[in-house]
Amino acid sequence: MQNHAYRSRQLALPLAAVFAAIILAAGTLFGFAGAANAQQTTASSDRIWQDLKGDVFGDRAILVDSGVVRIEAPKRAQDAAIVPVDIYIDLAKTPDGIKSVTLIIDVNPAPVAATFQIGKDAGVTHLSTRVRVNDYSYLRAIAETQGGELHMAQTFVKASGGCSAPAVKNQDEAMATMGQMKLRQFPPQETMTKVQELQLMIRHPNNSGLQRNPLTQYFIPAHFVQKLSISQADRPILSMEGGISISEDPNFRFDFKAHGNGEIQVEAIDTDGKVFRNQWPLEAAGL
């Protein structure tokens, strides 16, 4: 059973669609024999992507390494449950900005980790979050420009196997504190600018539901934050759909350009339909 790869052929939108779309692929996709071989696994990760991309983006052209988008993650992930990933947008190369960024983890059971919509004029150039990675895999960021072009960057991550499993570390604590939020506001790095950084943290087990109980073979029920919107003065900064491979206690750090002094509002909805809301006054940007 453990040699089977499961993957979704769709964006992780409605949960039912995710499960309906899970496909049990043959274990031969993965180089399971012997110690993981980076070369083989790079190739097998790429094969998964080649099969997957049409399902996610149709037959649209995807420009690779054009410089519009960049992705960074550790070459060797230390903890498979918490792999930091940074996505950078170069506004100089895309003057009209970016509409959305889709984060893909080829080998995960549901490869579309999350799709982020970026608010017009929000000025987001850097987004960092943490994801679960099940195996050696490419992480890909596909950015869609306002003009509808797709640009992709990728980085290969050797997810540490061993006993660092992509699972919740302290399940009781995760359930007891679910829905708590914390917002950190970092002042602008340079004076005379309104670009500042925010870090939003949400307590949630964010269980992908794609682990199988080895005894019963049943999937453990999914329970994750599948919709998130962050706005300031009622203008959207960043929203997320999907989120199936985002680490427990979802954590997002990003820069943005404040408009006026309106408060920052957050709404999150999980797969059980629970809604979590919070708001914070905007801390004075260094003017």
Q: Which of 16, 26, 163, 192 binds other proteins (CB under 8 A)?
A: 163
| CB contact at 8 A, 256 and 123 | yes
Site string for other proteins, 59-88 (x = CB under 8 A): -------------x-x---xxxxx-x-x--
From 50-58, 148-156, 178-186, 232-240, give the range in contact with other proteins by CB under 8 A. Answer: 178-186
Cα distance between residue 173 and residue 171, in whole Å: 5
Q: Give 105: exposed, middle or buried? Use CB within 10 Å, 0-12, 13-18, 19+.
A: buried
Residue whose token pair is 């449950």: 81
DSSP tag of 49: H
Q: Closer CB to other proteins, residue 116 or residue 254?
A: 254
State the Cα–Cα distance between residues 54 and 64, nearest whole angstrom: 15
Distance of CA 67 to the CA centre of its chain: 20
Give the residue with the Cβ less far from other proteins, 1 or 287. 1
Which range in 47-55, 138-146, 163-171, 263-271 contacts other proteins by CB under 8 A?
163-171
C-alpha to C-alpha distance for 44 and 23, rounded to whole angstroms: 17
Q: Which of 149, 173, 267, 283 binds other proteins (CB under 8 A)?
A: 173
Is residue 194 within 8 Å of 287, Cβ to Cβ? yes
In this structure, what token pair is assigned to residue 162?
């061993």
Of positions 94, 108, 134, 137, contacts other proteins by CB under 8 A? 134
Residue 49 tokens, joined: 């992507």
**Which helix (H) or strand (E) element contains residue 16?**
helix 15-20
Binding residue for other proteins (CB under 8 A) from 34, 58, 95, 273?
34
Q: Per rule CB under 8 A, is residue 184 in the interface with other proteins?
A: yes
Is 172 one of the binding residues for other proteins (CB under 8 A)? yes
Site membership for other proteins, residue 169 (CB under 8 A): yes
Closer Cβ to other proteins, 62 or 183, answer by number: 183
Residue ranges binding other proteins (CB under 8 A)? 1-3, 32-36, 72, 74, 78-82, 84, 86, 128, 130, 134-135, 160-173, 177, 180, 182, 184, 186, 201, 203, 207, 211-215, 220, 247, 249, 251, 253
